[in-house]
């Protein structure tokens, strides 16, 4: 007997025993590592092998915290009025200038609603919001000196005049910065959402105003954000870019998730190194936590994720992302749970990523690894043709997925297949099974799937 033919027969028999149909309309599949077979060396080396992803560098991440001098300043000492009506831009500028001149310190925002136009942070600053303190963006375009979009007849006319304003809070080339305290930063995004790209898709010909983010810190060493609430940004809430040593902890972020508040990502760090994002509570209209462009040594843990697009990577991955660990998180009613997305023209290498100890309930798409992503806001995007995305070496383990509409997708590109994916100790209950295309078949170890119509909750009006 030909030993290779015998080995192939044993392999086919083992694979056939993995799927067991229990009742019509319900498929239960338990996928485990099969018992060792007496296969020739050649057959063993061609079989998929389980992947051990070393994310110990991410597991040990403990970013350095800012060093802030023990000086205290109070916003109201610089003429600020927290009545929800007065514009306080000058008070913010003067108080921050005083902190900078003194060599750093804590700027306390007391109880009250402080309306302000955009302002810029300095180094060695702790912007501290007391309980009941609100830093709030203006609620009209006119308050920012912008014409109302309805005054323009065409997009070309609007684009010739309109320039997107700065984020409400911004800073660049900084060191030792903190935003702390139990207060709130409110982006007053409602009037912006009505003139967004999504609004134009629903009402063709409607003018589009490109929207500012809420907080953007670019190029900073030692950035700490703790305990504050961010809400109703016109677009992304918190964008830390080019950061070394980022700690985000116990932050609450809220924006409508019913489709009325598009692109309201919560936390979008990257590129950078040494990120620790933990114990946050997020419920928004887009990505909950999303690593943008690039990053290394990233620890994301103990977060509560509600509505939104999940804990994501991409779509921009051009700088590359590696050594990332996501663990001990819960997802409830989220559009996506795990989501790694990229596209031609903005891609780079995503590798050495582990998602572990996750609980998902009623998510739409549990697992998404996708290199053929299309951005609805830029459907004709071409970018740099040399930037082709790639995903390799991903471990998903100890995950419970209950009531998902789709188990998910693993979709690569014909010229960039997704490789080395391991699913281990996972329980999936979903209406549709995992779809794999332009990718190596994942390695399954102790994976149980129940694929059955009707296990996901009914779709809610406005759900993505």
- pLDDT tens, 407-435? 999 999 999 999 999 999 999 999 999 99
pLDDT-derived band at 382 (thresholds 50, 70, 90) equals confident
> What percent of the chain shows pLDDT beyond 90?
84
**Whether 127 and 256 share a structural domain:** yes
In this structure, is residue 296 part of a structural domain? no
Last residue of a domain, one of 258, 276, 294: 276
Instruction: Provide the mean pLDDT of the chain.
Output: 90
**Whether 328 and 266 share a structural domain:** no
Question: Is residue 15 scored above 50 in pLDDT?
Answer: no
Question: Is residue 24 scored above 60 in pLDDT?
Answer: no
Distance (Å) of CA 175 to CA 10, 61, 219, 424: 62, 19, 8, 41
pLDDT for residue 56: 94
In this structure, is residue 231 part of a structural domain? yes
What is the number of structural domains in the chain? 2
For residue 243, the tally of other CB atoms under 10 A from its CB is 24
Q: Under the phi-then-psi rule, with left for phi > 0, alpha for psi from -120 to 50, and beta for the rest, what region is 91?
A: alpha
**Whether 210 and 84 share a structural domain:** yes
Whole-angstrom Cα distance, residue 162 to residue 160? 6
pLDDT for residue 463: 54
Whole-angstrom Cα distance, residue 66 to residue 106? 12
In this structure, is residue 200 part of a structural domain? yes
**Whether 31 and 134 share a structural domain:** no
**Helix (H, G, I), strand (E, B), or coil: what is residue 157?**
helix
Question: Is residue 2 scored above 70 in pLDDT?
Answer: no
pLDDT-derived band at 354 (thresholds 50, 70, 90) equals very high
Q: Which residues partner with 273 through β-bridges? A: 244, 296
pLDDT for residue 365: 97
Look up the CATH number of the domain holding residue 424.
2.160.20.10
**Whether 92 and 144 share a structural domain:** yes
**Token representation of residue 161:** 């005049």
Question: Is residue 147 scored above 60 in pLDDT?
Answer: yes
Average pLDDT score over residue span 278-307: 96
Rounded to 5 degrees, what are φ and ψ at 63? -60, 150
**Whether 340 and 411 share a structural domain:** yes
In this structure, is residue 6 part of a structural domain? no
Question: Is residue 44 scored above 80 in pLDDT?
Answer: no
For the stretch 434-438, contacts whose Cβ atoms lie closer than 8 Å and that sit 24 or more positions apart, written own/partner, are 434/367, 434/407, 434/408, 434/409, 434/410, 435/408, 435/409, 435/410, 435/411, 436/409, 436/410, 436/411, 437/409, 437/410, 437/411, 437/412, 438/371, 438/372, 438/411, 438/412, 438/413, 438/414
Question: Is residue 393 scored above 80 in pLDDT?
Answer: yes
**Whether 238 and 186 share a structural domain:** yes
In tens, the pLDDT along 97-127 reads: 999 999 999 999 999 999 999 999 999 999 9
Last residue of a domain, one of 256, 276, 296: 276
* Range(s) of the domain holding residue 371: 18-35+309-456
In this structure, is residue 49 part of a structural domain? no
Question: Is residue 309 scored above 50 in pLDDT?
Answer: yes
In this structure, is residue 284 part of a structural domain? no
Enumerate residues 6+ apart whose C-beta is below 8 A from 63: 222, 245, 246, 247, 274, 275, 276
Average pLDDT score over residue span 220-235: 98
In this structure, is residue 266 part of a structural domain? yes
| Angle, CA 287 vertex, CA 236 and CA 408 arms, to 5° | 160
């Amino acid at each position: 007997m030909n030993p290779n033919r015998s080995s192939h027969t044993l392999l086919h028999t083992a694979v056939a025993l993995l799927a067991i149909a229990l009742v019509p309309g319900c498929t239960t599949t338990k996928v485990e590592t099969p018992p060792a077979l007496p296969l020739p060396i050649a057959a063993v080396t061609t079989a998929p092998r389980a992947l051990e992803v070393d994310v110990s560098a991410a597991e040990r991440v403990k970013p350095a915290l800012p060093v802030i001098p023990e000086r205290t300043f109070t916003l109201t000492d610089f003429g600020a009025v927290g009545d929800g009506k007065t514009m306080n831009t000058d008070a913010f500028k003067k108080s921050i200038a005083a902190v900078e001149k003194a060599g750093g310190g804590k700027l306390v925002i007391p109880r009250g609603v402080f309306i302000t136009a955009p302002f810029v942070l300095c180094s060695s600053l702790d912007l501290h919001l007391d309980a009941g303190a609100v830093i709030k963006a203006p609620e009209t375009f006119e308050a920012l000196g912008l014409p109302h979009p309805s005054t323009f007849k065409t997009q070309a006319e609007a684009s010739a005049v309109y320039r997107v304003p700065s984020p409400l809070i911004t800073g660049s080339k900084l060191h030792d910065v903190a935003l702390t305290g139990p207060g709130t930063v409110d982006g007053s995004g409602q009037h912006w959402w009505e003139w967004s790209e999504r609004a134009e898709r629903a009402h063709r010909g409607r003018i589009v105003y490109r929207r500012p983010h809420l907080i953007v810190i670019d190029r900073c060493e030692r950035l700490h954000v703790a305990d504050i609430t961010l809400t109703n940004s016109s677009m992304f809430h918190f964008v830390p870019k080019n950061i070394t040593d980022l700690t985000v902890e116990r932050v609450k972020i809220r924006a409508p998730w019913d489709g009325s508040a598009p692109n309201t990502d919560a936390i979008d760090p990257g590129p950078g190194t040494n990120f620790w994002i933990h114990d946050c509570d997020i419920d928004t209209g887009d990505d909950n936590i999303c690593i943008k462009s690039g990053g290394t040594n990233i620890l994301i843990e103990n977060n509560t994720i509600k509505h939104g697009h999940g804990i994501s990577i991409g779509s921009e991955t051009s700088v590359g992302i590696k050594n990332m660990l996501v663990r001990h998180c819960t997802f409830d009613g989220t559009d996506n749970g795990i989501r790694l997305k990229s596209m031609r023209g903005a891609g780079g290498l995503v590798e050495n990523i582990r998602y572990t100890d996750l609980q998902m309930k009623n998510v739409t798409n549990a697992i998404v690894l996708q290199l053929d992503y299309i951005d609805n806001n830029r459907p004709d995007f071409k970018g740099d043709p040399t930037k082709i995305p790639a995903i390799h070496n991903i471990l998903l383990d100890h995950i419970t997925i209950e009531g998902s509409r789709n188990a998910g997708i693993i979709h690569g590109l014909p010229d960039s297949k997704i490789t080395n994916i391991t699913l281990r100790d996972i329980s999936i209950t979903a209406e549709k099974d995992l779809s794999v295309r332009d990718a190596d078949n994942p390695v399954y170890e102790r994976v149980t799937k129940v694929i059955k119509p009707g296990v996901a909750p009914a779709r809610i009006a406005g759900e993505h």
